[in-house]
Structure 1
Amino acid sequence: MRVDKYLWCVRYYKTRNMVTEACKKNHITVNGQVAKPSKEVFPTDKVTFRKDQITYSITVLDIPQNRVGAKLVDIYRKDDTSPELFAHLELLKLSKEHYRKTGTGRPTKKDRRDLDELDFGSEENQ
């Protein structure tokens, strides 16, 4: 099966076109070699790809006939991605929320003035 179809079938990408774009950007490797979308994958192949700031590493266990449900994905692949990478992504998300809550929009003029007062207050104390 083609690598683009395989990654689409095991639900790592929403469309095959997204997989093709990732291949063109050299984000996908099969057994350590950069893969084109038409590269064939077989059981026991190691597929590595970068998506959402995480480098996933999976082992192909079996080839699905077509796109499978989310509960059946583990039959066709073994995920070798380290859990530390997912923890690091969570820390990145939390650090972004620390500065400004999601959905609050752009800072208002009052927010900017409050921030300016905080900055000036720290300089005067030094």
Structure 2
Amino acid sequence: MESTRLDRWLWAVRLTKTRPDAASACRGGHVRVNDRPAKPATLVQPGDEVRARVHDTTRIVEVVRVIQKRVGAAEAATCFIDRTPAPPPEAAIPVARRDRGAGRPTKRERRILDEFRAGGH
């Protein structure tokens, strides 16, 4: 069965920009293979689950194909299955709006707006 170093694979499938970035992420404890902390030299093979925290985003991918060299983005996307859950939807924050052409707010309206912006005490 084919296998390769984790840092090399992360770089080859374009999860990290450079191979040193991949290695430092591994050394920093930001990468796990099959729920175990992984070093840069950890061998990955098809079927392994890789969890990598890259740029404040945790990516969960399953290794489908092992590659040694960096390839184009379209080909790199065929080397893993992305199992990263969708981010939670952002809650809509109400925004105070005034009708167009309503002029400047009155003193009372300004106080209401200031209270709203301060957190609605």
Whether contact under 8 Å (2:8, 2:68) holds in the other structure is no
Q: Which has the higher contact order (CA 8 A, sep 6+)?
A: 2
* Counterparts of residues 1-126 of structure 1 (less than 5 Å): 1-83=4-86, 85=87, 91=90, 122=115
Structure 1 segments of 4 or more deviating over 2 A? Answer: none
Output the TM-score relative to the length of structure 1.
Answer: 0.67
Q: Deviations over 1:33-62 (max 9, x none)?
A: 000000000010000011222211000001
- Higher share of residues assigned helix: 1
- State the alpha-carbon separation in 2 of the partners of residues 64 and 17 from structure 1: 17
Q: Which runs of 5+ in 2 are unaligned?
A: 96-109
- State the alpha-carbon separation in 2 of the partners of residues 82 and 21 from structure 1: 24
Q: Which runs of 5+ in 1 are unaligned?
A: 99-116
State the aligned residue count.
99
- State the alpha-carbon separation in 2 of the partners of residues 24 and 37 from structure 1: 7
- State the alpha-carbon separation in 2 of the partners of residues 65 and 30 from structure 1: 18
- State the alpha-carbon separation in 2 of the partners of residues 17 and 33 from structure 1: 21
Which amino acid in structure 1 is aligned with residue 41 of structure 2?
S
- State the alpha-carbon separation in 2 of the partners of residues 7 and 65 from structure 1: 10
